[in-house]
Amino acid sequence: MSKLTLYDLPSKGHCRCWSLNPWKTRLALNFKNIDYKTEWIEYPDIASRLSPQSVPPTSTPQSPL
């Protein structure tokens, strides 16, 4: 089986991870002893990084009121 890739947003402080959903995913992967690698992506680079892999957005932007 190939290694999973976990995409996460890096923080600017001492602790590199801060986004809660990747934390929960990382906890489950570690608990189940599943091999994975973390790829750090800055927020502005998400769309350009995930587009070549055909990863669809999970939500659509909402227009301001």
Residue ranges of domains in the chain, CATH in brackets: 4-53 (3.40.30.10)
pLDDT at 56 over 80: no
Beta bridge partners, 38, equal 6
Mean pLDDT, all residues of the chain:
83
| Model pLDDT for residues 10-23, shown as the tens digit of each residue | 888 766 777 888 88
pLDDT at 52 over 90: no
pLDDT at 27 over 90: yes
Distance, CA of 11 to CA of 23 (rounded, Å): 13
User: How do the residues of the chain divide into helix, strand and coil, expressed in percent and rounded to 5?
Assistant: 35, 20, 45
- pLDDT interval class at 33 (50, 70, 90): very high
Residue 6 contacts residue 40 (beta carbons within 8 Å) = no
**Whose CA is closest to 6, among 21, 22, 17?**
22
Rounded mean pLDDT, 37-53: 85
CA atoms within 13 A on the CB side of 36: 18
